[in-house]
Chain A
Amino acid sequence: MNPTAGEQIASQIGYGVGLDALGITALLPEIFLAVAACIILIFDLYNDDEGHGMSYSLAGITLLGTMLLVIWRPYGADAIDVAMNGMFINDLMSRVLKVGILLVSFGCFVYSRKYAYDRNLFKNEFYVLGLFAVLGMMVMASAGTFLMVYLGLELLSLCLYAMIAFDRDSVKSSEAAMKYFVLGALASGILLYGMSIFYGLTGSLDLTNVHRSIGDIPVDNTVLAFGLVFIIVATCFKLGAVPFHMWIPDVYHGSPTAATVFLGTAPKIAGFALVMRLLVGGMEDLHHMWRDMLIIIAVLSVVIGNLIAIAQTNIKRMLAYSTISHMGFFLLGVLAGTDNGYSSAMVYVLVYTFMTLGAFGVIMMMSRAGFEADSLEDYKGLNQKSPWYAFVMMVLMLSMAGIPPFIGFIAKLGVIQAVVEVGLVWVAVIAVVFAVVGAYYYLRVVWYMYFESPVSDASPEGPVDMRIVLGVNAIGIVAIMFWMGDLTDLCARAIAAIPR
């Protein structure tokens, strides 16, 4: 049979060679997401106001479709695909992180629909911005060069600035967006500066090349230390670790909760990718240098985050400080500098985002038009109004506090075990003691919900999709305990396979 014209062309340009020389198949999910986001943007121009529901659904479908493309791989699950001449790495870690990012973002979209609708924020652009932010995070997860790290990070950050400022009539939101923008731009500049120093030292933007040539540089090289400090500062700023945490509470508090939930969840996974690609993929040989910096940062984050959270009366601010302490815990796993530590940190960050997602889901469910349920008082007596959502919130809070039998405990156990393993028992003891301090403010939420009588008329209401996703989210956090072994195994395999 004669080949068709299309097949002829394909064989001439060499379908298997021409396209895969660049490794387009490895990029398929990202390409799909980018195209779909553009289509949704255009689609909405030709749609009247009621059509926002349509673009919302399309955005959700796009996320799930992208996730299928990430999971569905015709060519070996553990294979590393290096595309675009090493700029883009599609390894197991990036795929696990992308699935996490996409799932969490899907949850954010579902949770924020009612909230955004009530506040007239339910616009097409909000979801398109979200999709581009997801694209940025996916690029970060797969970045193989400094350039890709930076591109992904900026794409994410720019979308987040806009999402935070989305409620343009709100002074608080504008202030939050302004703060985040100014400080975020500064941090990006610092990151860029650090990268340029490393480029100067190694002559390459490619992280595996950087990794290879960094060993030849004398360890007492001042410029090297300088560059590393810049990279660490910028990374910790993006994560929100002490002492670069100042923006977190104000931004969490000021943003519309629909943006806070997005800001507080998926970007942390991307932040983990950032840390892994830069510090481990590129600079693992400098572990002895960044370890000491991270010890100080992690310990300070755990201590200060947990202490200041106690003083908060606003639940969004409380969760902001709790985020800071969680980032400290997550850095504990990274600073151990072992594969075991990295995979524990990976488990930690994945678990953490799903817990935070659920907590913000409950907050948005309690809010309604003209009323923000962001004061702790609003949760008083929730058990009398809705035992199920009180139970959900209790599970989330106790899990965040790291109290068994919830997954937050296994996550904390992993990072603490990693630190003890490398002999840093004192760090583990500090972390553990401040976990008890932290337990207090989580317990206070449980206390308000279960032991007090209602003082405000806030009650959980939400559309059926939101109820279902929130239920799955909460039950998942309990049920995943039975499959925790598989999750840790998956993360361990992912870490073992990253190129460095």
Chain B
Amino acid sequence: MYNYDAYMLSILIWLPIIGGMVVLATGDDSKAPIARTIALGVSIAVFIFSLALWGDFKNGTSAMQFVERHDWIRAFNIEYYLGVDGISMPFLVLTAFITIIVVIAGWKVITERVAQYMAAFLIIEGLMIGVFSALDSILFYIFWEATLIPMFLIVGIWGGDNRVYAAIKFFLYTLLGSLLMLVAFIYLYNKAGGSFSILDFHQTPLAMDAQILIFFAFFAAFAVKVPMFPVHTWLPDAHVQAPTGGSVVLAAIMLKMGAYGFLRFNMPITPDASRELDWFMILLSLIAIVYIALVALVQRDMKKLIAYSSISHMGFVTLGCFLFSAQGIEGGIIQMISHGFISGAMFLCVGVLYDRIHSREIADYGGVANTMPVFAAFFMLFAMANAGLPGTSGFVGEFLVILAAFAVNPWFAVLAATTLIFGAAYTLWMYKRVIFGDVANDKVAKLKDLESREVLFLSALAAAVIIMGVWPNPVLEVMHASVDNLVFQVQQTKILGN
């Protein structure tokens, strides 16, 4: 059999990008059905490829798999160097899955510049897969930054009233953070003897003060992306203004790129600084978990509420990562994937309502259950998952992280566990105000329940949430070896002369 493994990652990256170009070439809105069909076909094909990749993935090793390596810019030793391990593997499948959902979700809602919309999501899919599979830091940086462009356009073209402000803020905020990361890469390039390979960076000895500076340069890039308190302010703006599909991709995948960066860069490249500064990261994570949850509680806008809930949940991810135990990191990764499904689903639910009434204000709703019972049932499931109900995917990650936190310091666990209360409070209170009670106004009275297209994508997500909640083992097995290796790396010292 021909060994296609060496090209799998390239296919996953370039198929959606080229597909996006083809969709773009279909031109104006008179050919919108063709654009939609091609986009759906390409996204399904990518998903099938990503499943094939998962099927061929070997669980027992922490080594990079499906490695592809070519010279690119020889003057700086920049390579086209791809590979995945157990940490990045799940995100590839997640990205491919979410893109199908987004394409279906935008099927009827988007009527203007359809080709550009679909193309933007396909291109961003390829770029995000590139982020998760790049092993050359400059290649990583190129994919990382390039994702900003389609997202900038998605927010700016199809967004809400204040979209320009949100788009520019999103772009510049994340650009500034990532440029400092670029300077760190260049510094590391000179330290690592002229190599931009991330795996070489993992081996490069570094003095403590250099590690601290590099840690903060990476922190600037990744903390903005996650986003961590206090650099989270771009997220609510971007989420509220973005079209539903944009919010879904942003919450489900782009935020994960930040946490992935912490796992791939901060912890193995600057292990001593990471251990030295773990209190700082844990502190910021706990503030995000508790304080941002309280902020979420008082939101009047549904999308803003979910955006703040995302920040709070991502606090769990960073907390889990910086506990430096296999349990914590695995919990963090599970939480990321589960949050990808749940936040995506929550935004889609809000999108379903918004498409009908064109309001995101909680106060404009009430008694939706009377007119949309099927929708209410789906929304219930996702709200419960968001609150961390056992049996849903939301529970698994949070539980693992709380366990790991307990092992380090019971107080961390106590503070982190408050999320189970606050999360339930803000999610279910919103649910109650929107769904239950008497029919609030004429608009709600005239609501039509879900159409089959909406049932399709919501049930796909519901299935994912429940399967992950009941049976997370397949995903855990993928990451075991790599996470163990990461825990080993972060316990090493890279300071020379010790």
Q: How far is the CA of A428 from the CA of B180 in the complex (A)?
A: 10
Q: Is the CB of B74 within 8 A of A485?
A: yes
Residues of chain B with a CB closer than 8 A to A450's CB: 153, 156-157
Q: Is the CB of B163 within 8 A of A416?
A: no
What's the tally of chain B residues with a CB closer than 8 Å to chain A?
A: 40
Q: Is the CB of A451 within 8 A of B163?
A: yes
Residues of chain A with a CB closer than 8 A to B190's CB: 420-421
| Contact code string B126-152 (vs A, CB < 8 Å = 1, else 0) | 000000000000100111111011001
Residues of chain A with a CB closer than 8 A to B180's CB: 429, 432
Q: Is the CB of A432 within 8 A of B168?
A: no
Q: How far is the CA of A427 from the CA of B76 in the complex (A)?
A: 20
Residues of chain A with a CB closer than 8 A to B189's CB: 417
Q: Which of A379-435 contact B (CB under 8 A)?
A: 383, 387, 398, 403-405, 409-410, 413-414, 416-417, 420-421, 425, 428-429, 432-433, 435
* Cross-interface CB contact of B164 among A414, A420, A451, cutoff 8 Å: A451
Known A-B contacts A428-B183, A428-B186, A432-B180; A488 and B145 likewise in contact (beta carbons under 8 Å): no
Q: Is the CB of B183 within 8 A of A409?
A: no
B298 at the A/B interface (Cβ < 8 Å)? no
B30-38, B171-179, B418-426 - the one binding chain A: B171-179
Residue of chain B at shortest CB distance from A444: B168
A439 at the A/B interface (Cβ < 8 Å)? yes
Q: Is the CB of B146 within 8 A of A405?
A: yes
Q: How far is the CA of A30 from the CA of B182 in the complex (A)?
A: 43
Q: How far is the CA of A60 from the CA of B345 in the complex (A)?
A: 59
Q: Is the CB of A429 within 8 A of B148?
A: no
Residue of chain B at shortest CB distance from A410: B73
A440 at the A/B interface (Cβ < 8 Å)? yes
A443 at the A/B interface (Cβ < 8 Å)? yes
Q: How far is the CA of A91 from the CA of B116 in the complex (A)?
A: 47
B1 at the A/B interface (Cβ < 8 Å)? no
Known A-B contacts A413-B138, A420-B190, A451-B156; A343 and B171 likewise in contact (beta carbons under 8 Å): no
A484 at the A/B interface (Cβ < 8 Å)? yes
Q: How far is the CA of A421 from the CA of B192 in the complex (A)?
A: 12
Residues of chain B with a CB closer than 8 A to A425's CB: 183, 187
Residues of chain A with a CB closer than 8 A to B78's CB: 485
Residues of chain A with a CB closer than 8 A to B176's CB: 433, 436
Q: How far is the CA of A443 from the CA of B183 in the complex (A)?
A: 22
A425, A451, A484: most-surrounded residue (chain B CB, <10 A): A451
Residues of chain A with a CB closer than 8 A to B74's CB: 485, 488-489
B75 at the A/B interface (Cβ < 8 Å)? yes
Q: Is the CB of A429 within 8 A of B167?
A: no
Interface size class of A (residues with CB under 8 A): 35 or more
Q: Is the interface of B mostly helix, strand, loop or mixed?
A: helix
A327 at the A/B interface (Cβ < 8 Å)? no
Residues of chain B with a CB closer than 8 A to A387's CB: 27-28, 116
Q: Is the CB of B75 within 8 A of A433?
A: no
A447 at the A/B interface (Cβ < 8 Å)? yes
Q: Is the CB of A439 within 8 A of B187?
A: no
Residue of chain A at shortest CB distance from B71: A485
Q: How far is the CB of A333 from chain B (nearest CB, A)?
A: 12
Residues of chain B with a CB closer than 8 A to A429's CB: 180, 183
Q: How far is the CA of A450 from the CA of B149 in the complex (A)?
A: 12
Q: How far is the CB of A450 from chain B (nearest CB, A)?
A: 5
Q: How far is the CA of A477 from the CA of B399 in the complex (A)?
A: 50
* Cross-interface CB contact of A432 among B116, B172, B182, cutoff 8 Å: B182
Residues of chain A with a CB closer than 8 A to B152's CB: 443, 446
Q: Is the CB of A435 within 8 A of B73?
A: no
Q: How far is the CA of A143 from the CA of B28 in the complex (A)?
A: 53
Q: Is the CB of B179 within 8 A of A433?
A: yes
B72 at the A/B interface (Cβ < 8 Å)? yes
Q: How far is the CA of A1 from the CA of B147 in the complex (A)?
A: 73
Q: How far is the CB of A224 from chain B (nearest CB, A)?
A: 33
A164 at the A/B interface (Cβ < 8 Å)? no
Q: How far is the CA of A413 from the CA of B189 in the complex (A)?
A: 12
Q: Is the CB of B157 within 8 A of A451?
A: yes
A351 at the A/B interface (Cβ < 8 Å)? no
Residues of chain B with a CB closer than 8 A to A420's CB: 183, 186-187, 190
Residues of chain A with a CB closer than 8 A to B116's CB: 383, 387
A156 at the A/B interface (Cβ < 8 Å)? no
How many pairs of A and B residues are in contact by the CB < 8 Å rule?
A: 100
Known A-B contacts A404-B142, A404-B145, A450-B156; A413 and B172 likewise in contact (beta carbons under 8 Å): no
Q: Is the CB of B142 within 8 A of A409?
A: yes
Q: How far is the CA of A410 from the CA of B186 in the complex (A)?
A: 12
* Cross-interface CB contact of B76 among A404, A417, A436, A439, cutoff 8 Å: A417
Q: How far is the CB of B359 from chain A (nearest CB, A)?
A: 22
Residues of chain A with a CB closer than 8 A to B145's CB: 403-405, 409
* Cross-interface CB contact of A404 among B28, B141, B172, B183, cutoff 8 Å: B141
Q: Is the CB of A447 within 8 A of B183?
A: no
A141 at the A/B interface (Cβ < 8 Å)? no
Q: How far is the CA of A400 from the CA of B460 in the complex (A)?
A: 42
Residue of chain B at shortest CB distance from A490: B75
Q: Is the CB of A436 within 8 A of B156?
A: no
Q: How far is the CB of B292 from chain A (nearest CB, A)?
A: 26
Q: Is the CB of A436 within 8 A of B172?
A: yes
Q: How far is the CB of A35 from chain B (nearest CB, A)?
A: 38
Q: How far is the CB of A259 from chain B (nearest CB, A)?
A: 33
Q: Is the CB of B167 within 8 A of A451?
A: yes
Residue of chain A at shortest CB distance from B73: A485
A302 at the A/B interface (Cβ < 8 Å)? no
Residue of chain B at shortest CB distance from A484: B73
A148 at the A/B interface (Cβ < 8 Å)? no
Residues of chain B with a CB closer than 8 A to A404's CB: 141-146
| Contact code string B2-33 (vs A, CB < 8 Å = 1, else 0) | 00000000000000000000000001100000
Q: Is the CB of B186 within 8 A of A440?
A: no
Residues of chain A with a CB closer than 8 A to B138's CB: 413
Q: How far is the CA of A343 from the CA of B73 in the complex (A)?
A: 13
Q: How far is the CA of A416 from the CA of B183 in the complex (A)?
A: 8
Residues of chain A with a CB closer than 8 A to B73's CB: 410, 484-485, 488
Q: How far is the CA of A409 from the CA of B138 in the complex (A)?
A: 10
Residues of chain A with a CB closer than 8 A to B28's CB: 387
A274 at the A/B interface (Cβ < 8 Å)? no
Residues of chain B with a CB closer than 8 A to A413's CB: 76, 138, 182, 186
A492 at the A/B interface (Cβ < 8 Å)? yes
Known A-B contacts A433-B176, A443-B168, A451-B156; A403 and B149 likewise in contact (beta carbons under 8 Å): yes
Q: How far is the CA of A21 from the CA of B179 in the complex (A)?
A: 53
Q: How far is the CA of A440 from the CA of B175 in the complex (A)?
A: 10
* Cross-interface CB contact of A440 among B71, B76, B172, cutoff 8 Å: B172
Q: How far is the CA of A425 from the CA of B163 in the complex (A)?
A: 36
Residues of chain B with a CB closer than 8 A to A433's CB: 176, 179
Q: How far is the CA of A446 from the CA of B74 in the complex (A)?
A: 32
Residue of chain A at shortest CB distance from B75: A488
Residues of chain A with a CB closer than 8 A to B76's CB: 413-414, 417, 488
Residues of chain A with a CB closer than 8 A to B75's CB: 340, 343, 414, 485, 488-489, 491-492
Residues of chain B with a CB closer than 8 A to A421's CB: 190
Residue of chain B at shortest CB distance from A344: B75
Q: How far is the CA of A417 from the CA of B195 in the complex (A)?
A: 12
Q: Is the CB of A447 within 8 A of B172?
A: no
Q: How far is the CB of B186 from chain A (nearest CB, A)?
A: 5
| Contact code string A461-500 (vs B, CB < 8 Å = 1, else 0) | 0000000000000000000000011001101100000000
Q: Is the CB of B182 within 8 A of A447?
A: no
Residues of chain A with a CB closer than 8 A to B156's CB: 447, 450-451
Q: Is the CB of A403 within 8 A of B179?
A: no
Q: How far is the CB of A430 from chain B (nearest CB, A)?
A: 11
Smallest CB-CB A-B distances: 8 pairs: A404-B142, A488-B75, A451-B156, A485-B73, A404-B145, A432-B179, A405-B146, A436-B176
Provide 9 A-B residue pairs closer than 8 Å at the C-beta atoms, listed in order of the A residue: A387-B116, A420-B183, A425-B187, A432-B182, A436-B176, A447-B167, A450-B153, A451-B157, A485-B75
Q: A404-B143, A440-B168, A447-B167 are in contact. List 19 more A-B contacts (CB 8 A).
A: A403-B145, A404-B142, A405-B143, A410-B73, A414-B76, A416-B183, A421-B190, A428-B186, A429-B183, A433-B179, A436-B176, A443-B172, A447-B164, A451-B156, A451-B164, A485-B72, A488-B74, A488-B75, A488-B76
